[in-house]
Amino acid sequence: MVDQSIAGAGTVATASDGDRSGRARIAILALCLGLAVAVLLSLTSGASDASAVSVVGDWLLGAAPGNEALSARDRLIVYDIRLPRVTLGVLIGAALAVSGAVMQGLFRNPLADPGLIGVSAGASLGAVSVIVLGATVLAPITSMLGTLALPLAAFCGGLATTLVLYQVATRRGQTSVATMLLAGIALAALAMALTGILIFMADDRQLRDLTFWQLGSLAGATWQKIGSVGPVIVLALAAMPFLARGLNALALGEATAGHLGIPVQRLKYTAIVGVSAAVGASVAVSGGIGFVGIVVPHLLRLAIGPDNRYLLPASALLGACLLLLADAVARTIVAPAELPIGIVTAIAGAPFFLWILLRKRGVIDL
């Protein structure tokens, strides 16, 4: 039973009056500070000696004449190499974590995650189609859409997968965990097989692009890439807060959410399109970065409770922080080479996921 599976989380102490909103606000404030620190550290760590003080100094002085807080070389490194990468990390971390939280609310299930249930695989299929076939079969479409082709294809792939999954796994507003996970496996397998065919057709140059991209990476972040997916992610994230109340009501079931005045059908479709857009855009630039969407909301629910009004913004902030952290690990652990960030999130996230399952063992009824 779904509702029983969560009872374990109740061991965490709660405010005696049952109102966790004060605590949640403090947590969000702390996460804002944490993110600021993480951004600054990411901008200043690496093979250049630009210090945090000089970066902040340069930023404060801006275009003021005589601003020599950073040397020309450091400025190039900070603004043209590190800042795009950090920006992308923040956008994608936020997008993945919020998508996870929204999807869990939508499926009424804490195990729903875009990576786990095949949505990312569907998005990958869309993206790989464009990478491999963009110059040949799909040329008329890609030339028309330009840099939007890749994120758009990923979005369509993710959307198609989510819609199929939702239809298959949900009956009368109740999602079966088993059906959802198994259908996700089937859809992911199908998407990956089709992706495999495309990879088989790829030439050597495309192949190198694909391998690194598939494992998930923030390397190669440019302002141009951010320009093509940033607006999509920002738009999707901006829409999510409007879903918060509806998702809270949905925790009581679709019928009750409707009784409370929520237009449930519209809520569901907005959520599905928003998640597909955010995940599609993320996958298009950085490949499959797994587990952020499940780990972040889960940790936050333990800390501040499941109220989506706070859970969604807090997920965005913590997702961004954790992805910057993972990127720092990916960049430094095998320096001067670099690991794909997807490997880092999987190594940290997969055991965490197992831990969630262990805690719920016996009460989760597949």
Partner 1 sequence: MIEARDVSVAIGGKGIVANVDFDMRPGEIAAIVGPNGSGKTTFLRALSGDLAYSGEVTINGRDLSVMKPVEAAMLRAVLPQATTLSFPFTVREIVRLGLLGGRSGALPGEDERLPERALARVDLDGFAGRFYQELSGGEQQRVQLARVLCQVWAPVLDGKPRYLFLDEPVSSLDIKHQLIIMNIARDFARRGGGVVAILHDLNLTAMYADRIFVMHRGRLAATGSPQDVLSDDLIEKVFDCRLRVGVLPAGDMPFVLPQSAV
Question: Which residues contribute to the site for partner 1 (CB under 8 A)?
Answer: 1-4, 6-7, 9-10, 14-20, 105, 108-110, 174, 245, 248-253, 255-256, 258-264, 301, 305-307
Q: Which is nearer to partner 1, 58 or 254 (CB)?
A: 254
Nearer to partner 1, 74 or 254 (CB): 254
- Return the number of the residue (15 or 189) whose C-beta is nearest partner 1: 15
Given the complex with partner 1, which of 241 and 253 has the nearer CB atom? 253
Residue 304 beta carbon to partner 1: minimum distance, rounded to whole angstroms: 11
Looking at beta carbons only, is 67 or 256 nearer to partner 1? Answer: 256
- Closest contact distance (angstroms) between CB of 252 and partner 1 is 6
Of the pair 75, 245, the CB lying nearest partner 1 is at 245
SS (H, E, C) the chain: CHHHHCHHHHHCCCCCCCCCHHHHHHHHHHHHHHHHHHHHHHHHCCCCCCCHHHHHHHHHHCCCCCCCCCCHHHHHHHHHHHHHHHHHHHHHHHHHHHHHHHHHHHHCCCCCCCCCCCHHHHHHHHHHHHHHHCCCCCHHHHHHHHHHHHHHHHHHHHHHHHHHHHHHHEECCEECHHHHHHHHHHHHHHHHHHHHHHHHHCCHHHHHHHHHHHHCCCCCCCHHHHHHHHHHHHHHHHHHHHHHHHHHHHCCCHHHHHHCCCCHHHHHHHHHHHHHHHHHHHHHHHCCCCCHHHHHHHHHHHHHCCCHHHHHHHHHHHHHHHHHHHHHHHHHCCCCCCCCHHHHHHHHHHHHHHHHHHHCCCCCCC
Least Å distance, CB 162 to partner 1, is 18
Minimum gap (Å) between residue 23 Cβ and partner 1: 11
Looking at the Cβ atoms of 286 and 308, the one nearer to partner 1 is 308
CB of 10 to partner 1, least distance (A): 4
**Contact (Cβ atoms closer than 8 angstroms) between residue 124 and residue 283:** yes
Angle formed at CA 340 by CA 338 and CA 72, multiple of 5 degrees: 50
Nearest approach, Cβ of residue 313 and partner 1 (Å) = 17
* Closer residue to partner 1 in complex, CB, 23/75: 23
Q: Residue 57 or 253: which CB sits closer to partner 1?
A: 253
CB of 207 to partner 1, least distance (A): 43
Question: Are the beta carbons of 210 and 202 closer than 8 angstroms?
Answer: yes
d(CA 17, CA 21): 11
Packing angle of the helix pair 264-286, 223-239 (nearest 10 deg): 160
Beta carbon of residue 104, minimum distance to partner 1 (angstroms, whole number): 8
CB of 264 vs partner 1, minimal distance in Å: 7
